[in-house]
A and B are shown apart, each in its own frame.
Chain A
Amino acid sequence: MAREEFDGFAVAAATRLYRTAYLMVGSHHLAEDLVQDVLARVYVAWPRIDGDPHGYAYRALGNAVANQRRWAARHPEDALPNHDTRPASLDIAEAVVVQEQLLDALRTLPRRQRVIVVLRYYADLTEVETALALNISTGTVKSQHSRAMSALRARLGDDLHPADDSDTLLDTNGARHDPRPA
């Protein structure tokens, strides 16, 4: 792909990557740092990326967060701060409470489990894609995901959807078949 096409991709992907990174590391500053690093990697690799650059970017992001100890060293609390950029409204008060609870619950997860949850349910990667992104086996993704969901349910209740691992099924090629109603 021509280098000029990178700009279009970066503009389209930056916000989503930033939000994904934020959910993973819980810090606006670190999330921006990560997105900058990931986009720079994509820029360098751009001419040789064959296929979806988003996938490459998420793999780079997942690797950076899950495997780089420097993030933990630079932000030991790894806490999710308050959402100072979210608009305040009484109408969304209940939703805000739910979201705070969710983010609190997410914060309690070990980093790798949190990254897996974010990649699976925010970046919308399949188990196979998540395993590739983190350079771990699909079995590890399954087990870590299962533990993460159990921990989230323990804090948020059994009505947390998806209900269990079988909610998202994969065929042999790793394609997703979501049985949930549209």
Chain B
Amino acid sequence: MTLDLREELERATSGLQPHPDVLDRARAAGHRRVVRRRRVQVAATLVSGAAVVLLAGSLVGNAGQLPLGQNAGPGTSTTSSAASVASVALPDPAPGFPYRLTPDGDPRQASVDGSSYEIRQFSVSSEPTTAAGEAAGASAVVNVGTFPMPGGDGLVDGHPITDRVGVAGVTGIVVAYNANKQPVTLLYFQKGGLTVEITGMGGATTDQLVDLGNSITGLA
């Protein structure tokens, strides 16, 4: 009797089904990873999925060596941009988001896909964090840095641009989508050679993100 390995493997597993929840759990786990990465790296380059390492160490001490924004873009890393990023600030309390989720980040160098960028991150929320230290209410993560502005092809992280708004005196792009049934709104704009990415979660509205963007100082 001939025993066909392919057929027998098919038969041996024909009754097996994954738990119905596995897809929901996978989506939830994937979304958590996306958000976690978004909180520590530049969303514009998140689509690459590359491992991102935020290198420790402030570059503030090297400020003022080169003109502002001269080297903004992929594959660049200069102390001038660090100086620019270092001058950026978000008021505390920030409008609409009076609570800090984490202490404001120092300017850091982020390495993504072989390119280096200087970024500074602020994490804020509309309500105090829970006892478990998690965000409550609307929350937003602000990344300011030398990373490139996404959306040139009409897509950001695979999602279409849904709106264009005026923010900080320039035109920004908005991307709104649902990730694991949770609304996520992204606002991007460029000013003073730096790109600003604001990720709104927990029901944060575009208007709230615009107000947040308007409150950023040190962009120009």
Contact assessment for A47 and B30 in the assembled complex, using a CB-CB cutoff below 8 Å = no
Most interface-central of A6, A17, A31, A36 (chain B CB within 10 A): A36
Contact assessment for B16 and A22 in the assembled complex, using a CB-CB cutoff below 8 Å = yes
Task: Please give, as numbers and ranges, the residues of chain B lying within 8 Å of A99 by CB-CB distance.
Answer: 8, 11-12
Query: How many residues of B sit at the interface, in one of the four size bands?
Result: 35 or more
Nearest A-chain residue to B49, judged by Cβ: A45
How long is the Cα–Cα vector from A42 to B31 in the complex, in angstroms?
11
Question: Does B134 sit at the interface, judged by CB under 8 A?
Answer: no
Question: Does A10 sit at the interface, judged by CB under 8 A?
Answer: yes
Question: Does B159 sit at the interface, judged by CB under 8 A?
Answer: yes
Contact assessment for A3 and B3 in the assembled complex, using a CB-CB cutoff below 8 Å = no
Contact assessment for B13 and A22 in the assembled complex, using a CB-CB cutoff below 8 Å = yes
Known: A36-B22, A36-B29, A159-B1. A118 touches B9 (CB 8 A): yes
Task: Please give, as numbers and ranges, the residues of chain B lying within 8 Å of A47 by CB-CB distance.
Answer: 46-47, 49, 157-158
* A to B contact number (C-beta, < 8 Å): 131
Question: Does B37 sit at the interface, judged by CB under 8 A?
Answer: yes
Does more than half of chain A's interface fall in helix, strand or loop, or is it mixed? helix
The 8 A CB mask of B1-43 against A (1 = contact, 0 = none) is 1111110111111111111001101110111011001000000
Question: Does B179 sit at the interface, judged by CB under 8 A?
Answer: yes
State the Cβ distance, B17 to closest chain A Cβ, in Å.
6
How long is the Cα–Cα vector from A107 to B29 in the complex, in angstroms?
30
Contact assessment for B4 and A14 in the assembled complex, using a CB-CB cutoff below 8 Å = no
Pick the residue among A11, A117, A162 that contacts B23 (CB under 8 A).
A11
Residues of A within 8 A of B (CB): 1-4, 6-7, 10-11, 14-15, 17-19, 22-23, 28, 31-32, 35-48, 83, 85-87, 95, 98-99, 102-103, 117-118, 121-122, 124, 152, 156-157, 159-162
Given A15-B18, A44-B30, A102-B5, 17 other A-B residues pairs in contact with their CB atoms under 8 A: A1-B158, A3-B177, A6-B27, A10-B23, A15-B17, A22-B13, A40-B27, A41-B30, A42-B30, A48-B47, A83-B15, A85-B15, A85-B16, A85-B17, A102-B8, A122-B9, A122-B10
The 4 tightest CB contacts between A and B, nearest first, are A43-B30, A39-B26, A47-B158, A40-B29
